[in-house]
Structure 1
Amino acid sequence: MSKTLIFLPADRPTVAALLHGQPRATALYIVPPMRDPSYAEPLEELIASRSEIDAWMWRIAD
């Protein structure tokens, strides 16, 4: 079995973990301590595009 390490850009939102085992899956998004508002809009779009998955955000700066 081969494994691949993928590096994703830090300025684009992506799911950090996907939790299964409940009636609905939950996606964990880690929001970096950035002040750039251009990060929030793509994150909201990403969450809205998968309405069948609950979302939980960890805002590191808070």
Structure 2
Amino acid sequence: MPESARSGGDFRRYTEDQVQQLHVIRRCRTPDIPVEDIRNLLRFSARLAENCAEINALVDSISTR
């Protein structure tokens, strides 16, 4: 995830897309999904209009662990 902008008070200012990515990351960290799998999910989510076979296979492999 690219570094977020900072406000004058040095607070992070996230775009709506970044907020959505952070929500996905947070939900994935709860069941201890490996960071590499989270990266792949985020990469796939950016290309939702493409074939979903790869993401379905990844989700299936995560759910059977």
User: Which structure has the bigger radius of gyration?
Assistant: 2
TM-score, length-scaled by structure 2: 0.30
TM-score, length-scaled by structure 1: 0.31
Name whichever structure is richer in strand by fraction: 1
